[in-house]
A and B are shown apart, each in its own frame.
Chain A
């Protein structure tokens, strides 16, 4: 299986901050990398697919980029509703696998 290593595991940030989360694949996955937002008791949300395409309805402060096997999720000007746990997921081949998650908390 392709392993996804996500960092950091948690972040303490303030409203208006810029947040960067990184995900590294254990092998080449082309641009087959997706990002999700998960909140307790809520349905998880797809944010970005194929590494940089914003899903319909997702605010433009979210963006994604890729460099080789490294992928980045950036949240510009963090809003109160953005405090959540974020996961990457590879969709390149085999069993779908996720990163360990990054919890974004209020400082």
Chain B
């Protein structure tokens, strides 16, 4: 069974850069897509983007100007960078495995709460 675990800072100030890492065990990051999803305080789920080995990342157009994702297969990890954060970026951030073809999130991490506050 694949397991995913998010790590990173829980508190940021406005204008700072958020950097999160997702560590994957029980499976290789050389297969499947690997993505990030966040849950806002209002409980809305928002897909941030995904990345896969040997391919270009695909970002949600609503966040594309501030998002960068990367994949490190040697560490079996993938990362999210979100620049110029504001209070609106306060959310629980989940990493997830996404299947090929019809994109389904079949394995998730338990999430990390990120709060943006001055």
Contacts and interface: CB of A to CB of B under 8 A. Distances in A.
Nearest to B94: A44
Given A38-B39, A43-B110, A44-B94, A98 B105 contact: no
A18 B101 CA distance: 32
Interface in A55-99: 55, 85, 87, 89, 91-92, 95-98
Interface stretch (B23-31, B41-49, B68-76): B41-49
B24 to A, nearest CB: 13
Nearest to B104: A49
A89 B47 CA distance: 10
Contacts of A91: 102-104
Nearest to B96: A44
Contacts of B39: 38
Interface in A19-54: 32, 34, 36, 38, 41-46, 49-50
B111 A46 contact: no
A101 B104 contact: no
Chain B interface size range: 20 to 34
Contacts of A7: none
Given A42-B110, A43-B4, A98 B102 contact: no
Nearest to A99: B45
Interface of A: 1, 32, 34, 36, 38, 41-46, 49-50, 55, 85, 87, 89, 91-92, 95-98, 100-101, 103
6 contacts: A38-B39, A44-B96, A91-B103, A96-B103, A98-B44, A98-B47
Given A38-B45, A45-B108, 13 more contacts: A34-B104, A34-B105, A41-B110, A41-B111, A43-B4, A43-B107, A43-B109, A46-B105, A46-B106, A49-B106, A95-B62, A100-B43, A101-B45
Interface of B: 4, 39, 43-47, 60-62, 94, 96, 102-111
